[in-house]
Amino acid sequence: MAGGGDFSVAILAGGRSSRMGSDKALLELGGRPVVELIADNLDRLGRGLFISGGDPASFESFGLPVCADQYELTASLVGIYSALAAAWGGGCIVVACDLPFADRRLAALMARLAAGHDAVIPVSEKGPEPLFAYYSKACLGSMRRAIEAGDLRVMDALADLDIRLVATAEVEKVCDPQRVFFNVNTPGQLAEAERMPGGPRETGDVRTPLVCFVGRKDSGKTTLIEKLAAGMVARGLEVAYIKHDVHGFEMDREGTDTWRVAAAGARRVVISSPDAVASIERRERERDLEQIRDDIGAGADIVIAEGFKSSCADRIEVSLSSRSRRLACPERELVAVVSDRPDASSVVPVLDIDDTGAVLRFLLERYGLRARGGETLS
């Protein structure tokens, strides 16, 4: 069993594509091959990404390793088995090549849930979704026996294993299940994918980029974020900021009008002035970071969060050698490290904590942030 970063990511490119009439793995959506879209979505997760199945020559241009199926049978179980057998590390997240909207947040969630389980399989309204799921190498024996017995149903092959199902409600906390499990098996479905919100022909539902700066206490996160926010604002960008405080907080002073009404039981109070507005809402449980982003991110170019070490969002760790020479998060769950130690990570980029400009350029390039005039900022 493997959790954390001890896994690979495999795009399953085998299959007959009989309903599509051409190789699904090489379909284009919005002018880009679906395999490329998936690879971009799941890049930098785990120990590496590769393509499993299909003709290696067809995928040469993608610059990814390609492994062949280990059986001549054409079946999803064979594809999963072959990818898992070829994976680096103790497990593999597999994703079918006809799932163009595979979401890295769901992949990261499955990886975190993997510890202690043989497989992690999300569930949609259609049932288990084994073609975007996590499998540990403990599954290989059961899969091989099922294949050689001619039972090619994935869930049957896993019947005697410890499976962690991710309920639809859990999936909904990180992404839209209808979107993430939408597959393109026919020309009609491909055309529908083009029109979907956030798809190539629909730009009205693009979510604001979200990045979390994490790290140990007093590592300089707030100071760095302050400098980055100033740099972005100077370049004409709108920045929203979320701070996570595990100890709770108070925004209102005892005795003020809003404090008195809130103390009387009002669930939400708002105070407005000519140049600002603030509100306090009492809740039984903390909202997910994604929900907060969607609430405050409208109109912003980027949302920067501080804390939220367990979130599925992109995370950049700020690490000072004076605080600790060990990272607080697994390297493979990060997109970068900002540190005074060049060797702080061997897996993700390490940016000099004294070079705010380099960190700023990293964010601008990663999220494609552009000035109001349309040019990429540098």
Q: Which domain holds residue 55?
A: 8-195
In a domain, 265, yes or no: no
Instruction: Please check whether residues 151 and 214 belong to one and the same domain.
Output: no
Give yes or no for residue 260 having a pLDDT over 80: no
> What CATH number is associated with residue 240?
3.40.50.300
pLDDT digits (tens, 9 = 90+) for 140-164: 999 999 999 999 999 999 999 999 9
In a domain, 71, yes or no: yes
pLDDT digits (tens, 9 = 90+) for 317-346: 999 998 888 888 888 778 899 999 999 898
Instruction: Please check whether residues 93 and 231 belong to one and the same domain.
Output: no
Instruction: Please check whether residues 179 and 238 belong to one and the same domain.
Output: no
Instruction: Please check whether residues 178 and 44 belong to one and the same domain.
Output: yes
369 band by pLDDT with thresholds 50, 70 and 90: confident
Instruction: Please check whether residues 187 and 226 belong to one and the same domain.
Output: no
Enter the tokens of residue 286: 């903390």
In a domain, 148, yes or no: yes
pLDDT digits (tens, 9 = 90+) for 78-96: 999 999 999 988 999 999 9
Higher pLDDT, 20 or 321: 321
Instruction: Please check whether residues 16 and 43 belong to one and the same domain.
Output: yes
Q: Which of 118-122, 168-172, 266-270, 366-370 has the highest mean pLDDT?
A: 118-122
Higher pLDDT, 206 or 241: 241
Instruction: Please check whether residues 238 and 129 belong to one and the same domain.
Output: no
Q: Cα separation of 199 and 192, whole Å?
A: 9
Instruction: Please check whether residues 218 and 315 belong to one and the same domain.
Output: yes
In a domain, 231, yes or no: yes
Contacts of 53 (CB under 8 A, 6+ apart): 12, 13, 14, 15, 67, 68, 69, 79, 82, 83
Instruction: Please check whether residues 185 and 231 belong to one and the same domain.
Output: no
In a domain, 374, yes or no: no
Instruction: Please check whether residues 48 and 158 belong to one and the same domain.
Output: yes
Task: Please tell me the predicted confidence (pLDDT) of residue 164.
Answer: 96
Count of structural domains within the chain: 2
